[in-house]
C-alpha cells in the first residue's frame, strides 16, 4: 500500500505541480506510515522525483501517450493504483488533472475531493480541507470510500525538497482502442510564456485600461516579472483579450503567490476567483474601489502613470539583484 | 438528436456566503438561486442545436422541490421537457448515479453538463457520468459542433486550447465559449407562459453510495487592512513585495 501521485509533464519535462503533488504525497505517506509511488508519462529525468519524496517511479514510455488523453491516462493510473494497492491518489488542479480525476475515481470506485488546500486534518477518518463556494468558504470533507483521490490546489502546499532518491521501474499499462475514442487533433498552446495555472505571479487588467491598445504596458510588466497575463470578465467579453485570460468565479481560478490587479474594480465575482492568491496588489484611481478591501497592497493612482513607473522600478530592482 | 442538459441550482454569483447549524450547513436564507452559469452556456448551445439541427432538448436537475423555479426558467428559455430527480445533491458521485439512470432511460445522444457548479466547485459530475455510462467525454469544452454521429470539440487547456474529434454518445463539461456571453437568453413572457404547459416529470432517486461527506464549513479569516503606497513612491511597493511579502 503506497500513496500514488500523477506527475504531470510537458515534452518530457516535469511541471512544477509535479513536484508539489509529490511533496504533498510525501507528507500524507508519512502520516499513513507508507511511501510514495509516482507514475510518469514519457519523461526524461524520472529519478529527480526522489528529491521531492518519491521512493518509486512507475515509468510509462508509450508514444501513443505523448499527447494527454484523459481516458487513457486515467486507465493507466487506475492500473498502477491496483498494482501498488494504493489507497490514496494525489493529483494537481490543472485542466488535465481535473479532466481525468472523475474518470479515475469512477473506475476505482473511489471518493474524490478537489481543490484541497492543506495536509489532511486526519487520516482516520480521512478528512481534508478544500475551498468551496468559489473561495468564499472552506469545507472539511470526509472521504469514506476505501480509495481516496485528492486534487491539490496550486501553490497550496508548496514544493519541499528532501534529498531522497527514487528507484525507477518501467510500467506498461494495457490500453484498448476505446481509451482513444476521444482524439486530440490539434493543440494550440502558447509557448515560452507563463500560464495562469502555473505562474507564480499573475498580472491582470480590467476595464479601467480603456481598450486593447493599452495592453502593451500590462504585457511588459508581466515580462519583467515572468508573470502570466489575465483579465476581468468584461474585458474578454468585449474581445479586448482572449477568453482564456478571463479570471474569476466564472473564468479561470487564480492561486498565484502574487496577483496584481490594474484597473479592476473588485466585483464579488472577480474576487471569488482570485482570492486564493497569497499576496494581492491593486492599482486603481478610485480609492473607493472594492478591491482595496481585499488587497494586501494598493496604490491609488492612474494606471497609465503608475504602471510605467512600476516597470522602471522593477527593472532597476532586477538589475541590482541579478 | 436527443440532448440532455444537466442543470445545477446554485446561489446567484453576488451571494454572500454564510453557514448554519454549527457551521455544518450552507445558509440558504435570503439567497437567490440561479441556473449554474456553466450550464446556462450549455443550455444556450443546446437551443442552437434545436433551432439549427432539429434536436430535442430536455433538462434535468437532481434536487428538492425548491429547485423547480430554476428548472422552469430552463423551460422558459426553450427546453422541451424537464426532469427533476427528487433528492438532495450532497455528493457528486450520488448525483452522477442519478443522472446516469435518467440518461439510460431517455436514450440521449448528447449530454451537456457544466465544467463545475459554482457553489461546491466539485467539477466531477460530468466525468463520473460519462464513465458510468461508458460514453465519450470532453471537459472544459469551449466549442462544440455535431455532424451526424461525429463531434468536433474545442477544449480549454492550461495556456491554450485543443481541438478534439470524437463520436456520439458524448458527455461534455462546458463553460463560457460554448456560446458567447451576448448569446445568453433572458426568458420572455411568451417563453414563460409556454413553460407552464411543458412537462416537468418528477422521479424518485435510485440507491447510490455517497463516498464523500462535508462535515464542517468555515469562512476565510478576515483580511487585515490594505497597505497603501503613494503613487509618487512606486519604489516602495517593489521593496515591500521583496522584503515583506517575499514574492519577488
Ligand atoms: C453571472 C456573473 C458572473 C461573473 N463572473 C465574473 C468573473 O468570473 N470574473 C470577473 O472579472 N467578473 C465577473 N463578473 C462581472 C463582475 O460583476 C464585474 O462586472 C467585473 O468584474 C468588472 O470588471 P472590471 O473591474 O474590469 O470593470 P469595472 O467594474 O468597469 O471597473 C473598472 C475599474 O477601473 C478603474 N479605473 C478606471 N480608469 C482607471 C485608470 N486610469 N487607472 C486605474 N484605474 C482605473 C475604475 O475606478 C474601476 O474600479 C460576473 C458577473 C455576473 C453577473
Ligand atoms: N444536482 C445536479 N443536478 C443536475 N446536474 C448537476 C447537478 N450537480 C451537478 N450537475 C452537473 O454537473 C456539472 C458539474 O457539477 P459539479 O461536479 O457539481 O461541479 C454542473 O455544471 C451540472 O451540469
User: Which residue out of B7, B118, B205, B214 has the highest number of ligand 2 atoms within 8 Å of its CB and is therefore the one to mutate?
Assistant: B7
**Which tens digits make up the pLDDT trace of A120-161?**
999 999 999 999 999 999 999 999 999 999 999 999 999 999
pLDDT for the residue B124: 98
Which of A140, A296, A306 is nearest residue B215 as measured by Cβ atoms? A140
pLDDT for the residue B74: 98
Which of B123, B217, B219 is nearest residue A114 as measured by Cβ atoms? B123
CB within 6 Å of ligand 2 — which residues? B 6-8, 36, 38-39, 60-63, 89, 92, 95, 113-114, 116-117, 120, 122-126
Identify the segments of chain A with pLDDT beneath 70.
Answer: none
- Whether residues B218 and A138 touch (CB distance < 8 A) is answered with yes
d(CA B226, CA A266): 14
Sign of CA dihedral A152, A196, A278, B239: positive
- Chain A residues with CB under 8 Å of B217 CB are 132, 137-140
- Whether residues B227 and A275 touch (CB distance < 8 A) is answered with no
* HEC assignment per residue over chain A: CCEEEECCEECCEECHHHHHHHHHHHHHHHHHCCCEEEEEECCCCHHHHHHHCCCEEEEECCHHHCCCCHHHHHHHHHHHHHHHCCCEEEECCCHHHHHHHHHHHHHCCCEEEEEECCCCCEECCEEEEEEECCCCEEEEEEECCCCEEEEECCCCCCCCCCCCCCEEEECCCCCCHHHHCCEEEEEEECCCCCCCCCCCEEEEECHHHCCHHHHHHHHHHHHHHCCEEEECHHHHHCCCCCHHHEECCCCECCCCCEEEEECCCCCHHHHHHHCCCCEEEEEECCCCCCHHHHCCEEEECCHHHHHHHHHHHHHHHHHHHC
Which of A95, A257, A299 is nearest residue B157 as measured by Cβ atoms? A95
- Local structure of B51: helix, strand or coil: helix
Residue A264 beta carbon below 6 angstroms from any ligand 1 atom = yes
pLDDT for the residue A319: 95
B188 CA: distance to closest CA in chain A (Å): 23
Is the pTM here over 0.90, yes or no? Answer: yes
Nearest to A295 by CA among B236, B17, B237, B217: B237
The burial of B186, by beta-carbon neighbours within 10 Å (0-12 exposed, 13-18 middle, 19 or more buried), is given as exposed
Ligand 1 atom closest to Cα of A302?
42
A50 CA: distance to closest CA in chain B (Å): 26
d(CA A249, CA A270): 6
- Chain A residues with CB under 8 Å of B99 CB are none
d(CA A283, CA A289): 10
Tell whether A176 is within 8 A of chain B (Cβ): no
In the beta sheet, which residues pair with residue A228?
A: A202
Tell whether A317 is within 8 A of chain B (Cβ): yes
pLDDT for the residue A191: 83
A307 CA: distance to closest CA in chain B (Å): 9
Which grid coordinates belong to B111?
449530454
Which pLDDT tens digits describe chain B residue by residue (248 residues)? 999 999 999 999 999 999 999 999 999 999 999 999 999 999 999 999 999 999 999 999 999 999 999 999 999 999 999 999 999 999 999 999 999 999 999 999 999 999 999 999 999 999 999 999 999 999 999 999 999 999 999 999 999 999 999 999 999 999 999 999 999 999 999 999 999 999 999 999 999 999 999 999 999 998 899 999 999 999 999 999 999 999 99
Q: CA-nearest residue of chain A to B39?
A: A250
Which of A178, A190, A313 is nearest residue B234 as measured by Cβ atoms? A313
ipTM over 0.90: yes
Amino acid at each position: 500500500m503506497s500513496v500514488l501521485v500523477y506527475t504531470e509533464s510537458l515534452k518530457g519535462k516535469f511541471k512544477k505541480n509535479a513536484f508539489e503533488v509529490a511533496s504533498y504525497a510525501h507528507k500524507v505517506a508519512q502520516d499513513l506510515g507508507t511511501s510514495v509511488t509516482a507514475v510518469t508519462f514519457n519523461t526524461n529525468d524520472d529519478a529527480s522525483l526522489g528529491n521531492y519524496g518519491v521512493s518509486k517511479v512507475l515509468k510509462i514510455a508509450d508514444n501513443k501517450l505523448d499527447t494527454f488523453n484523459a481516458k487513457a491516462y486515467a486507465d493507466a493510473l487506475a492500473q498502477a493504483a491496483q498494482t501498488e494497492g494504493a489507497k490514496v491518489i494525489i493529483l494537481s488542479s490543472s485542466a488535465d488533472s481535473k479532466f481525468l480525476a472523475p474518470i479515475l475515481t469512477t473506475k476505482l470506485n473511489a471518493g474524490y475531493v478537489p481543490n484541497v488546500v492543506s495536509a489532511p486534518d486526519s487520516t482516520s477518518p480521512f478528512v481534508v480541507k478544500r475551498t468551496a463556494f468559489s473561495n468564499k468558504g472552506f469545507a472539511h470533507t470526509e472521504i469514506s470510500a476505501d480509495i481516496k483521490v485528492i486534487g491539490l490546489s496550486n501553490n497550496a502546499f508548496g514544493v519541499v525538497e528532501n534529498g531522497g532518491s527514487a528507484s525507477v521501474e518501467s510500467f506498461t499499462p494495457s490500453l484498448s482502442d476505446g481509451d482513444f475514442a476521444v482524439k486530440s487533433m490539434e493543440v494550440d498552446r502558447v509557448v515560452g510564456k507563463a500560464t495562469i495555472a502555473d505562474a507564480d505571479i499573475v498580472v491582470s487588467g480590467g476595464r479601467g485600461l480603456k481598450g486593447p491598445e493599452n495592453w502593451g504596458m500590462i504585457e511588459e510588466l508581466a515580462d519583467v516579472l515572468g508573470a502570466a497575463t489575465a483579465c476581468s470578465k468584461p474585458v474578454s467579453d468585449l474581445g479586448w483579450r482572449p477568453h482564456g485570460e478571463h479570471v474569476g468565479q466564472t473564468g479561470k481560478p487564480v492561486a498565484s503567490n502574487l496577483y496584481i490587479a490594474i484597473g479592476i474594480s473588485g466585483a464579488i465575482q472577480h474576487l471569488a476567483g482570485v482570492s486564493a492568491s497569497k499576496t494581492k496588489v491593486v492599482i486603481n484611481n478610485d480609492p473607493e474601489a472594492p478591491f482595496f478591501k481585499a488587497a494586501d497592497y494598493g496604490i491609488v493612482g492612474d494606471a497609465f502613470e503608475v504602471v510605467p513607473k512600476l516597470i522602471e522600478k522593477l527593472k532597476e530592482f532586477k538589475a541590482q539583484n541579478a | 438528436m436527443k440532448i440532455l442538459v444537466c442543470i445545477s441550482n446554485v446561489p446567484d454569483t453576488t451571494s454572500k456566503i454564510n453557514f448554519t447549524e454549527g457551521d455544518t450547513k450552507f445558509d440558504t436564507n435570503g439567497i437567490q438561486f440561479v441556473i449554474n452559469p456553466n450550464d446556462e452556456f450549455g443550455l444556450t448551445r443546446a437551443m442552437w442545436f434545436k433551432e439549427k439541427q432539429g434536436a430535442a432538448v430536455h433538462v434535468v436537475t437532481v434536487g428538492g422541490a425548491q429547485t423547480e423555479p430554476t428548472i422552469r426558467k430552463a423551460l422558459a428559455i426553450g427546453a422541451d421537457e424537464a426532469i427533476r430527480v427528487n433528492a438532495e445533491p450532497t455528493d457528486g458521485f450520488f448525483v452522477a448515479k442519478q443522472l446516469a439512470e435518467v440518461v439510460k432511460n431517455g436514450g440521449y445522444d448528447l449530454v451537456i453538463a457544466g465544467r463545475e457548479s459554482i457553489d461546491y466547485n466539485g467539477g466531477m459530475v460530468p466525468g463520473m457520468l460519462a464513465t458510468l455510462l461508458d460514453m465519450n467525454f470532453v471537459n472544459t469544452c469551449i466549442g462544440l459542433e455535431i455532424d451526424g454521429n461525429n463531434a468536433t470539440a474545442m477544449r480549454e487547456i492550461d495556456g491554450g486550447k485543443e481541438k478534439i474529434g470524437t463520436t456520439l454518445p458524448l458527455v461534455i463539461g462546458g463553460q463560457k465559449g460554448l456560446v458567447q456571453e451576448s448569446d445568453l437568453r433572458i426568458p420572455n413572457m411568451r417563453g414563460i407562459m409556454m413553460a407552464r404547459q411543458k412537462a416537468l416529470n418528477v422521479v424518485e432517486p435510485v440507491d447510490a453510495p455517497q463516498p464523500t461527506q462535508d462535515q464542517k464549513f468555515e469562512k476565510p479569516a478576515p483580511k487585515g487592512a490594505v497597505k497603501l503606497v503613494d503613487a509618487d513612491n512606486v519604489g516602495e511597493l517593489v521593496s515591500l513585495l521583496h522584503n515583506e511579502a517575499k514574492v519577488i
